[in-house]
């Protein structure tokens, strides 16, 4: 509701204005009715209003003096309209000079007040839309600079902008917030999860209003990831006298209370400042890829999961090397034997939490290195994605020997696929498929199923050929098609967003700003050929 203040020294005029129109129906609420300009100024010192309707002739301070006082002091940003019984051009001229938006003669007619209210409503709506566009552009530009730092590809301008626009104090870590993947219902497809991701993003920003720009949408290289990035600073917990783990678990509890889904956080390494956030992000991705081999938690902290003191654990080096060699050669029988041998040795050593962590972490890190050795162009992020995607099996106990066996057998096949080349014909077919169905719920996963290829490997091959990720490639096609429609048609923006594959208009606008540098409405205005 827009707030209105009425100013007139005649009580029956004030009463008449109150009943002349249905203010609530028009979206307004009369919050004050005062008898002169001085009383109006006193009210405005402690209260905000959106519209002031004032008589001219009043004692102490008249309407024109009130208007001039507001213009001079900036005490209110309210729109102003003059009421008067004098049809005097000098009054009107003085009112217009001081930005009065209307000059209504008494006796006041209902149609004149309604015209004023509807004009103000339209202007307020336009201002809100412009303000929303401005905020979206600012958010998108900040996100672009933060992502540059997260990916380790930044300059001093990126760093300065982020430091100036985020509340950064104390040590920092990158935190991945996600719906617990292995607990998703089987009938939830990519679209369902994308909707859930938007809800998660909105909820996170809502419960952290003072730090809402610390949440980043769509950071991950992972085409099947539906996570939210969060830049955590030590002072977030210390200023409310909480430990880091209590603070993060408190956040999860609030999120789950709204989204009604299990949520977890994967926290990368603590770093000294935002310029080192890429290291924290990389360690977070690494931890995310191996969490399927650790005990299930709501919050995974890098230092707790990976940094194990050698005094308290023993590395089963020989068994591990035999397992790695069997995986590299894709010797199925030997893989199963070596995994059993590894678990037997860990069991004999006590099979405590630190010991298992140390050995499994060593194995997985070596497997990542093994994959990147197959081809200089293989992206480590894609290998991490593969491990993350294939580390969960609902039918198996996490961390069991059979769990690791199955994964090791799959990974051996994955290494074999990396040694082979994908024919140009398949990629051409996929490119054509995307061009024809870009507006559909298309993903690497369903393309991989359609063309009988591992989705992670397909993502690597795709990036190698087109020099961008599948996700960015698809986004560019969608946004470019939207840009054409903005210029060549009169369709509404939300209709265009839906036709190119975005059911969430806010997300579409954010991606459009990232790629085109302005909002869709501004792009249409700047490029309209009609």
d(CA 118, CA 124): 10
Predicted confidence (pLDDT) at residue 328 exceeds the cutoff of 60: yes
- Residues 493 and 460 placed together within one structural domain of the fold: yes
Answer whether residue 151 is part of any domain.
Answer: no
Q: What pLDDT is recorded for position 350?
A: 66
* 365 pLDDT more than 90: no
- Evaluate whether 250 touches 244 at the Cβ level (below 8 Å): no
What pLDDT, on the 0 to 100 scale, is given for residue 388? Answer: 64
| Model pLDDT, residue 369 | 76
The answer to whether residue 392 scores a pLDDT higher than 60 is no
| CATH code, domain with 259 | 3.30.70.270
| pLDDT bracket for residue 395 (50, 70, 90) | very low
Strand, coil or helix: what is 228?
A: strand
Do both 449 and 396 map to the same domain? no
Shared domain for 349 and 476, answered yes or no, is no
* 350/515: higher pLDDT: 515
- Say if residues 217 and 227 touch (Cβ distance below 8 Å): no
* Residues 301 and 314 placed together within one structural domain of the fold: no
Q: Which pLDDT score is estimated for 6?
A: 95
Q: Which pLDDT band holds residue 90 (cuts at 50, 70, 90)? A: low
**Domain membership flag for residue 280:** yes
- The C-alpha atoms of residue 69 and residue 362 are separated, in whole angstroms, by 73
Full DSSP string of 74-110 = -----EEEEEES---HHHHHHHHHTT-SEEEESSPPH
**Where do the DSSP E strands lie in 143-194?**
172-179
Quick one: 172 and 301 in the same domain?
A: yes
Phi, then psi, of 359 in degrees rounded to 5: -70, -45
With respect to residue 136, please indicate whether it lies within any of the assigned structural domains: no
- Residue 521 belongs to some domain of the structure: yes
Q: Are residues 253 and 325 in the same domain?
A: no
- Is position 496 within any domain? yes
What proportion of the chain, given as a percentage, has pLDDT over 90?
Answer: 28
To which H or E segment does residue 378 belong?
none
Q: Is 46 contained in some domain?
A: yes
Last residue of one domain, picked from the residues 127, 156, 186: 127
101-110, 129-138, 455-464: least confidently modelled range: 455-464
Number of residues that this document lists for the chain: 530
At residue 247 the predicted structure's pLDDT band, cuts being 50, 70 and 90, is very high
- For residues 375 and 484, membership in a common domain is answered with no
pLDDT at 203: 93
- Structural domain ending residue among the three candidates 418, 434, 460: 418
Query: How high does pLDDT run on average in the chain?
Result: 82
pLDDT band at residue 16, thresholds of 50, 70 and 90? very high
Segment 152-161 shows an average pLDDT of 89
Task: Tell me how far apart the alpha carbons of residues 82 and 97 are, in angstroms, rounded to a whole number.
Answer: 12
For residue 322, the number of C-alpha atoms closer than 13 Å in the C-beta half-sphere is 16
Q: Between these two residues, 370 and 13, which has the higher pLDDT value?
A: 13
Q: Is the pLDDT of residue 132 over 90?
A: no
φ, ψ at 256 (rounded to 5°):
-65, -30
Per-residue confidence (pLDDT) for residue 481, from 0 to 100 = 92
Beta bridge partners of 265: 177, 299
pTM: 0.60
Q: Evaluate whether residue 141 is within a structural domain.
A: no
- Which band of pLDDT confidence, cut at 50, 70 and 90, is reported for residue 170? confident
pLDDT of residue 186 exceeding 60, the answer is no
| pLDDT(313) > 60 | no
pLDDT at 215: 92
Residues 329 and 413 in one domain: yes
% of the chain beyond a pLDDT of 70 = 83
Can you read off the two tokens belonging to residue 337? 């034997």
Is residue 120 within 8 A of residue 51, CB to CB? The reply is: yes
The tally of domains found in the chain comes to 4
Give the list of residues 6+ apart from residue 464 with CB closer than 8 angstroms, or none: 377
The DSSP call for residue 271 is B
- Spacing of C-alpha 39 from chain mean position: 46
Range of the domain at 448: 425-527
530 pLDDT more than 60 = no
Q: Is the pLDDT of residue 187 over 50?
A: no
Is 90 among the domain residues?
yes
CATH of residue 522's domain is: 1.10.10.60
Query: Which of 127, 157, 183 is the last residue in one of the domains?
Result: 127
Question: 450-478: per-residue pLDDT in tens?
Answer: 776 667 677 777 777 777 788 888 889 99
Q: How confident is the model at residue 309 (pLDDT cuts 50, 70, 90)?
A: very low
What average pLDDT does the segment 269-284 reach? 90
* 298 & 330 share domain: no
Question: Could you tell me if 108 and 83 are in contact, meaning their C-beta atoms sit under 8 angstroms apart?
Answer: yes
Reported as a pLDDT band with limits 50, 70 and 90, residue 421 is low
Whether residues 10 and 118 fall in one domain: yes
pLDDT number for residue 224 = 60
**Predicted pLDDT of residue 204:** 92
CATH of the domain at 40: 3.40.50.2300
């Amino acid at each position: 509701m827009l707030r209105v203040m009425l100013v007139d020294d005649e009580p029956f005029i004030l009463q008449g204005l109150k009943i002349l129109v249905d203010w609530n129906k028009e979206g307004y609420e009369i919050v004050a009715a005062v008898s002169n300009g001085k009383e109006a100024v006193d009210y405005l010192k402690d209260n905000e209003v959106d519209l002031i309707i004032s008589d001219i002739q009043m004692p102490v301070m008249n309407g024109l003096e009130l208007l001039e006082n507001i213009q001079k002091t900036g005490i209110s940003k309210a729109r102003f309209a003059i009421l008067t019984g004098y049809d005097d051009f000098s009054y009107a001229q003085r009112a217009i000079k001081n930005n009065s938006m209307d000059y209504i003669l008494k006796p006041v007619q209902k149609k004149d007040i309604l015209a004023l209210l509807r004009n103000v409503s339209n202007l307020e709506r336009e201002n809100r839309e412009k303000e929303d566009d401005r905020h979206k552009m600012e958010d998108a530009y900040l996100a672009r600079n933060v992502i540059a730092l997260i990916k380790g590809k930044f300059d001093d301008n990126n760093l300065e902008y982020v430091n100036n626009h985020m509340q950064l104090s104390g040590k920092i870590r990158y935190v991945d917030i996600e719906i617990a993947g292995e607990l998703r219902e089987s009938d939830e497809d990519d679209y369902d999860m994308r909707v859930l991701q938007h809800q998660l993003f909105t909820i996170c920003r809502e419960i952290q209003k003072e730090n809402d720009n610390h949440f980043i949408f769509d950071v991950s290289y992972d085409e099947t990831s539906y996570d939210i990035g969060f830049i955590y600073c030590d002072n977030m917990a210390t200023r409310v006298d909480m430990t880091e783990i209590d603070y993060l678990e408190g956040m999860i509890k609030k999120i789950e209370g709204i989204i009604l889904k299990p949520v977890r956080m994967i926290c990368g390494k603590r770093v000294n400042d935002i310029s080192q956030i890429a290291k924290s992000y990389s360690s977070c991705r690494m931890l995310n890829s191996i969490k399927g081999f650790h005990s299930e938690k709501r919050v995974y902290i890098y230092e707790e999961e990976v940094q194990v003191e050698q005094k308290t654990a023993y590395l089963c080096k020989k068994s591990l090397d035999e397992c790695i060699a069997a995986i590299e050669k894709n010797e199925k029988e030997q893989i199963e034997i070596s995994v059993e041998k590894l678990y037997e040795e860990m069991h004999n050593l006590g099979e405590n939490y630190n010991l298992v962590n140390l050995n499994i972490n060593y194995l997985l890190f070596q497997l990542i290195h093994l994959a990147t050795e197959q081809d200089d162009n293989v992206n480590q992020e894609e290998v991490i994605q593969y491990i993350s995607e294939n580390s969960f099996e609902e039918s198996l106990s996490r961390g069991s020997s059979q769990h690791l066996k199955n994964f090791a057998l799959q990974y051996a096949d994955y290494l074999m696929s990396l040694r082979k080349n994908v024919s140009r014909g398949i990629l051409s077919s996929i490119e054509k498929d995307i061009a024809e169905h870009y507006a559909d719920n298309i993903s690497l996963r369903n393309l991989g199923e359609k063309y009988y290829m591992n989705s992670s490997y397909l993502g690597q091959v795709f990036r190698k050929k087109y020099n961008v990720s599948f996700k960015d490639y698809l986004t560019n096609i969608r946004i470019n098609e939207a840009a054409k429609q903005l210029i060549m048609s009169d369709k509404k923006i939300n209709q265009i967003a839906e036709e190119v594959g975005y059911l969430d208009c806010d997300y579409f606008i954010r991606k459009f700003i990232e790629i085109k540098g302005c909002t869709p409405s501004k792009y249409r205005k700047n490029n309209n050929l009609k």
